[in-house]
Amino acid sequence: MVKLSSITVNAHQPQRLAEFWSEFLETDVAFEHEGFIWLKPTEGQTRLAFQQIDQPTEGRRRLHLDLTSEDPEAELARALSLGASQLEDHWAGSFHWVVLADPEGNEFCISAAE
């Protein structure tokens, strides 16, 4: 079973967006790592995250879903069996996630549950 853990926004200036959204949502930054910023989720809400990109996004991956699982490898295999495509593999310190695309190319990530 997977759980929606974050909605991630591509950002040309992630610090600026993180400051805006943390003020607006009345929360703090939970974690930062090399162009990635995650806000602490507010009670009952999904976490908001920002990732650094070189150019403002036009189309591809402006927003994407981050999913977590107790068994991310099994969910990766299940997603692939249902028609997803594996696009990328990333590490931020000890945190690992895989980027996939659904059958129409909409991107999403799967990582281990925290």
Over its length of 114 residues, how does the chain's per-residue pLDDT go in tens digits? Answer: 888 888 988 888 889 889 988 887 889 999 999 999 999 998 888 899 988 988 766 666 677 888 889 999 999 999 999 889 999 999 999 999 999 888 767 788 999 987
Euclidean distance between CA atoms 2 and 43, whole angstroms: 19
DSSP run (H or E) holding 24: helix 14-25
pLDDT for 4 equals 87
Contact between 18 and 35 under an 8 Å Cβ cutoff? The reply is: no
pLDDT for 104 equals 66
Euclidean distance between CA atoms 79 and 92, whole angstroms: 23
pLDDT for 43 equals 82
Nearest to 46 by CA among 59, 63, 70, 62: 63
Euclidean distance between CA atoms 49 and 73, whole angstroms: 23
pLDDT for 56 equals 64
Q: What are phi and psi of 75, to 5 degrees?
A: -70, -35
What domains appear along the chain, each with residue ranges and CATH number?
3-112 (3.10.180.10)
Print burial letters for 60-80: b (CB count within 10 Å at least 16), e (below 16).
Answer: ebeebbbbbbeebeebbeebe
